[in-house]
DNA sequence: ATACGATATGTTAGCGGTAACAGCAGTAAT
DNA sequence: ATTACTGCTGTTACCGCTAACATATCGTAT
C-alpha cells in the first residue's frame, strides 16, 4: 500500500520511506501494472482517438493538437485508424471502448447505428471532430464543410470565373469532401451556374493524380476556366501541371484546393485554399475531454471554427 | 462464465445459448471490460508502437505495414509519439509497458539507459525498427543508413560530381539522418573528397526550407555541383527551386534525397532517392511480434533490408 | 439398466492493484 | 492527564473477468 502511495504521489509518506521505495523500484525495474490499477480504481488515463487515416497531412496535425493539450493532464491519446471504413470504425471503437477510456475523440458525425449506440451508451465524454454539419452524439468541434464549399464558390464567382470543374476523391465515405462539394454546387446554382466537368480518383500518389486529372479535364473540357480540388495535394499536382505546361494561372485558369497544408508554402506559386483549423480542432477537442473529466459536466457542446480563405496566387483578384 | 465463453468464442456452448447471450449483449449494449479480462488472463492484445513523429511521411507508412500485418492476428497497435525526445521516449515507453502489451515496436536503436533496461526486462518481444547500425535489445528490422549514405555518395562520385554539399535537419536526435551523413562523408573521404558546404534547418515547412536552403548554399558556394538532402521533402523543395531558376538539372547541379516518398512521383522531374523500405519494415516487425507470441521463441533476430537507389532524373548518367 | 464419453453449464479462487478505513505514534491544546 | 489532531503505515474487501476444475445432461455402446 505504501508502495502504491509513493508511485502515485498520493497521500502522506515519509521522505525516508519514499526514497527506499523508489530505490527498490528502480533496482528491481518494477513497472506498476496499470491493468490492475485501472480495474481497482475504475480510472483509466487513456483517450481513444479514432481517425480515418494517417497518410494525408490532415490527421497527424490534429493529433499534434491533441497530444500537446493532453500533455500535462496525465491523459494519453491512443490512436485507432479506420481507413474510411464504417465497419472498421465500428470494430475499432468497440475494441477501444472495452478498455474503458476516459473519453473518445472521433472523426466525423457519420457512424454506423451500432457505433452511434456505443458512443451514446459509453458514459464518457465523446467529441466528434472535423465536421459540424449534422447532429453530434455529445460534443463536436469542427468547421462547416458545406459553408466552406459555398464560400469558395462565392469567391471564385466573384473573381469572374464561370466554367468551373471539380476534381476530387471518389471515396464514398469521405463525408466532409462530399459536403464541401454539395455546398460548392449549391452556391454555383444560386449564381445560375453548374459544374462544367468533374473528375474523381482513388488511391495512388495524390500529387501525381492531381497532374493526371488536371490534364484529363483540360483536354476533355477546354472551356474550363477554374479547377476546384477536394484537397491541396491534388491541387498542388494540378498547379505543377499548369506551370509545366505554361498555362496562365490565374489568368486562363484559376485553381483552389482545401486544407491549408504547410506543403503549399514551398510551391513556386501559392495555391488558393482554406485552412481546416486542424491544430485548433485537436486542441479544443482535447480540452473538452480533459475539462469534462475534471468537473463531470455531461452536456454536449458544439464548437464551430471558421476557416479563412487564403486566396494565394491562383485566383484572379475579384472584379468589382 | 457462459457469457464469457460466448463472447470470446472459446469452449463449447450450445447454439441456442450462444444466440441468447449475443441477443442480450446487443440489447444491453454490453461491452466487455478488457481491463478485467486482461488482468485475469494475463494476456493483452496490444502492441506498443513508439515512433518519433507522425508528421513526415515515413512513419505513417510504417504504421500501415504494421496495421496490415496485425489485422488478422487479434493484435492491436497502440501508437506513442516521442517528438524525437529521448526523455519523452522513456516516459512513453514506461507508460505503455505498464499496460503489459504483447510486444513493443520502437524506432531506432538509441535509447536512454533506463529505456534500454525497461526493454530488456520487459519479458516480451521487442523489435527496434528503421535502423540496424548498432546493437538491438532483442530483434531489429531496418536498413543500414550508413551504407545507404555510402551508396549514394558512390553513385554521385561515379556520375562525375566533385563539389558536393549536404543539406539536412539539425535535430541532434535524428540518429538515422546522422548515420547517413557519416556514411556519405566516409565514402567521399575514400574518394579523396570532402563536403564543400553544409546547411541545416529545423522546423517549418520542409518543402519551403528546401528552397531556402538551396538558395543559400548556391549563393554561398557557387562552385557546388551536387546537393545531397537528408530527406525527400527538402530535396523536392530544392528541385522546385532549381527548376524555377532555370538551373540545369542534372547537368549543372545534381540532386538527391532520401526516403522514396510517393510525393516525388508527382513532381515535374523525378528526384534521385533511396527508398527506405518503410512498408516492409512495418510488416516484418509486426510479423516478428505476431509470430513470437505464438511459438514463444525469445531469440532476437536482425533483419536487414536493402534499399534500392532510384536515380530518377536528377543525377547524370555515370561516366564510364 | 449401467457405464461411459462428449457436450454444456456452473463454481471457486485468484489476477495486481486501490479505496476506505483502521491503527498507532508523536505533538499541541485543554 | 486527557483529548484532538496530524502524519504515517497497515488491513480488508473488492474491481470484472478468466483458468481450472466440478457438475449436470444426454446419447449410446455394453
Query: How confident is the model over B228-268, as pLDDT tens digits?
Result: 999 999 999 999 999 999 999 999 999 999 999 988 899 99
| Residue A206, CB-side half-sphere exposure with 13 Å CA sphere | 18
Could you state, in order of their start, the residue ranges of all structural domains in chain B?
Answer: 1-32, 45-144+279-304, 145-275
pLDDT of residue A44: 96
CA-to-CA distance for B130 and A95, rounded, in angstroms? 29
Q: Helix, strand, or coil here: B115? A: helix
HSE at residue A236, side-chain half, CA atoms within 13 A, is 28
CB burial of A291-319 (b: ≥16 within 10 Å; e: otherwise) equals ebbeeeeeebeebebebebbbbebbbeee
pLDDT tens sequence across A285-314: 999 999 865 555 556 899 999 999 999 999
- The conformation of residue B48, written as its DSSP 8-state character, comes to E
Cβ partners under 8 Å of residue B14, min gap 6: none
B54–A63: do the CB atoms touch at under 8 Å? yes
- In this complex, which residue's CA is closest to the C1' atom of nucleotide C19? A41
| B-chain residues near A60 (CB < 8 A) | 54-55, 60
**Are A44-144+279-304 and A145-275 the same fold in CATH?**
yes
The phi and psi torsions of A142 (rounded to 5 degrees) equal 175, -165
d(CA A20, CA A24): 6
Torsion angle (degrees, nearest 10) of CA A58, A142, A96, B101: 40
Rounded Cα–Cα distance for residues B271 and A173 (Å): 34
In chain B, the DSSP E strands lie at: 46-51, 76-81, 103-107, 126-131, 139-143, 164-169, 197-201, 226-229, 254-256, 273-274, 302-304, 309-310
Which candidate from A57, A206, A240 shows the least CB-CB separation from B268? A240
CA–C1' B180–D20 (A)? 55
Give the span between the Cα atoms of A35 and A113, in whole angstroms.
Answer: 30
Task: Name B36's Cβ contacts closer than 8 Å, sequence gap at least 6.
Answer: A39
Torsion of CA B101, B110, B167, A263, to 10 degrees: 10
**What is the Cα–Cα distance from B318 to B5, expressed in whole angstroms?**
66
- Near-strand D residues (CB closer than 7 A): A 1-2, 5, 11-17, 36, 39-40, 42; B 1, 4, 7-8, 10, 32-33, 36-37, 39-41, 43
Q: Which residues of chain A have pLDDT under 70?
A: 292-299, 319-320
Helix (H) or strand (E) holding B17: helix B15-28
Residue B150 — very low, low, confident or very high, per pLDDT cuts 50/70/90?
very high
Residue A259, beta-bridge partner list? A275
* Closest alpha carbon to C1' of D19, residue: B41
Bridge partners, residue B107, by sequence: B129
A92-141 residue pLDDT tens: 999 999 999 999 999 999 999 999 999 999 999 999 999 999 999 999 99
Which among A35, A44, A267 is the nearest to B39, CB-wise? A35
- B198 has a pLDDT exceeding 80: yes
DSSP B318: P
Check if residue A74 sits with its Cβ under 7 angstroms from strand C.
no
Task: Decide if pLDDT at B129 tops 90.
Answer: yes
Please measure the distance between the N-terminal and C-terminal CA atoms of chain A and give it in whole angstroms: 76
Q: Check CB contact under 8 Å for A240 and B266.
A: yes
C-alpha–C-alpha distance, residues B85 and B200, integer Å = 19
Across all residues in chain B, what is the average pLDDT? 93
pLDDT of residue B174: 92
> For A168, phi and psi rounded to 5 degrees?
-160, -175
Strand partners, B105: B49, B127
From A39, A63, A81, residue closest to B35, measured CB to CB: A39
| H or E element at residue B272 | none
* pLDDT tens sequence across B58-87: 899 999 999 999 988 989 999 999 999 999
What pLDDT score was predicted for residue A1?
Answer: 85
Quick check: A28 CB within 7 A of strand C? no
Instruction: Specify the CATH number of the domain A145-275.
Output: 3.40.50.2300
Q: Cα dihedral sign for A307, A310, A315, A316? A: positive
In this predicted structure, what is the pLDDT of residue B171?
Answer: 82
| 3-state DSSP assignment of residue B306 | coil
* Cβ-Cβ contacts under 8 Å for B77 (sequence gap 6 or more): B46, B47, B49, B63, B66, B67, B70, B105, B286
Minimal C-alpha gap between A202 and chain B (Å): 15
CA distance B170 to B182: 14
The reply to whether the CB atom of residue A245 sits less than 7 A from any atom in nucleic acid chain C is no
Percent of chain B scoring above 90 in pLDDT: 82
Position B274 confidence tier, pLDDT thresholds 50, 70, 90: very high
Question: Cα separation of A180 and A178, whole Å?
Answer: 5
All residues at 6 or more sequence positions from B62 whose CB lies less than 8 Å from its CB, including other chains = B51, B107, B129, B130, B278, B279, B281, B282, B285
Q: Which residues of B are less than 8 Å from A31 in CB distance?
A: 94, 97-98, 118, 122
If we measure between CA atoms, which residue out of A319, A1, A320 comes closest to residue A160?
A319
Out of A60, A211, A240, closest to residue B54 by CB: A60
List the beta bridge partners of residue B166.
B198, B228
Position A267 scores a pLDDT of 93
CATH superfamily, with its number, for domain A44-144+279-304:
Response regulator (3.40.50.2300)
| β-bridge partners, A169 | A201
**Which residues from chain A sit within 8 angstroms of residue B113, using beta carbons?**
none
Asked if A78 lies within 8 A of B78 by C-beta distance, the reply is yes
Nucleotides in C strand less than 7 A from protein CB: 7-20
Query: How far is the C-alpha of B125 from the C-alpha of B139, rounded, in Å?
Result: 8
B57:A61 CB<8 A: no
Of B34, B36, B240, the CB nearest to A268: B240
Dmax (CA) for chain B in angstroms is 82
In angstroms, how far is C29 C1' from B258 CA? 76
Give which of B26, B99, B203 to mutate to test A binding, by max A Cβ within 10 Å.
Answer: B99
pLDDT at B297: 56
Is the confidence at residue B20, as pLDDT, over 60?
yes
Q: How far is the CA of A19 from the C1' of D2 (A)?
A: 36
Tally of CA atoms within 13 A in the half-sphere of B151 that contains its CB: 18
C-alpha–C-alpha distance, residues A58 and A174, integer Å? 13
Instruction: Using the structure, give the distance in angstroms from the CA atom of B5 to the C1' atom of D25, rounded to a whole number.
Output: 19
B45-144+279-304: CATH topology? Rossmann fold (3.40.50)
Compute chain B's Rg from CA coordinates: 24
Smallest CA–CA distance, residue B284 to chain A, in Å, is 20
β-pair partners for B48: B78, B104
In DSSP notation, chain A reads -HHHHHHHT-S---HHHHHHHHHHHHHHT----HHHHHHHHT---EEEEEES-SSSSHHHHHHHHHHHHHGGGT-EEEEEE-TT-HHHHHHHHHHHHTT--SEEEEE-S---HHHHHHHHHS-S-EEEEEE-SS--SSEEEEE-HHHHHHHHHHHHHHTT--SEEEEEE--TT-HHHHHHHHHHHHHHHHTT---SEEEEE-SS-HHHHHHHHHHHHHHH-TT--EEEESSHHHHHHHHHHHHHTT--TTTT-EEE-SB--GGGGGSSSPPBEEB--HHHHHHHHHHHHHHHHHH------EEE--PPEE-TTSSPPPP-
Amino acid at each position: 500500500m505504501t508502495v502504491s502511495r509513493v508511485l502515485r504521489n498520493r497521500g502522506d509518506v515519509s521522505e525516508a520511506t519514499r526514497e527506499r521505495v523508489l530505490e527498490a523500484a528502480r533496482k528491481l525495474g518494477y513497472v506498476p501494472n496499470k491493468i490492475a490499477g485501472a480495474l481497482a480504481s475504475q480510472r483509466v488515463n487513456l483517450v481513444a482517438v479514432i481517425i480515418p487515416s494517417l497518410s494525408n497531412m490532415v490527421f497527424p496535425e490534429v493529433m499534434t493538437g491533441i497530444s500537446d493539450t493532453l500533455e500535462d493532464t496525465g491523459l494519453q491519446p491512443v490512436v485507432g485508424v479506420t481507413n474510411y471504413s464504417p465497419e472498421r470504425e465500428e470494430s475499432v471503437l468497440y475494441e477501444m471502448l472495452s478498455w474503458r477510456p476516459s473519453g473518445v475523440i472521433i472523426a466525423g458525425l457519420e457512424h454506423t447505428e451500432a457505433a452511434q449506440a456505443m458512443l451514446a451508451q459509453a458514459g464518457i465524454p465523446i467529441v466528434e471532430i472535423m465536421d459540424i454539419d449534422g447532429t453530434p452524439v455529445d460534443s463536436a468541434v469542427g468547421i462547416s464543410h458545406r459553408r466552406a464549399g459555398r464560400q469558395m464558390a462565392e469567391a471564385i464567382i466573384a473573381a469572374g470565373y464561370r466554367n468551373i470543374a471539380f476534381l476530387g476523391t471518389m471515396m464514398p465515405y469521405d463525408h466532409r469532401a462530399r459536403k464541401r462539394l454539395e455546398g460548392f454546387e449549391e452556391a454555383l446554382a444560386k449564381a445560375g451556374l453548374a459544374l462544367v466537368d468533374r473528375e474523381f480518383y482513388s488511391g495512388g500518389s495524390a500529387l501525381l493524380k492531381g497532374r493526371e486529372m488536371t490534364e484529363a479535364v483540360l483536354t476533355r473540357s477546354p472551356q474550363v476556366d477554374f479547377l476546384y480540388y477536394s484537397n491541396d495535394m491534388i491541387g498542388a499536382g494540378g498547379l505543377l501541371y499548369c506551370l509545366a505546361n505554361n498555362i496562365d494561372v490565374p489568368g486562363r485558369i484559376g485553381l483552389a484546393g482545401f486544407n491549408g497544408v504547410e506543403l503549399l508554402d514551398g510551391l513556386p506559386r501559392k495555391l488558393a485554399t482554406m485552412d481546416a483549423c486542424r491544430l485548433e480542432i485537436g486542441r479544443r477537442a482535447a480540452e473538452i475531454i480533459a475539462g469534462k473529466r475534471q468537473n463531470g459536466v455531461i452536456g454536449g457542446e458544439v464548437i464551430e471554427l471558421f476557416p479563412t480563405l487564403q486566396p494565394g496566387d491562383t485566383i484572379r483578384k475579384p472584379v468589382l
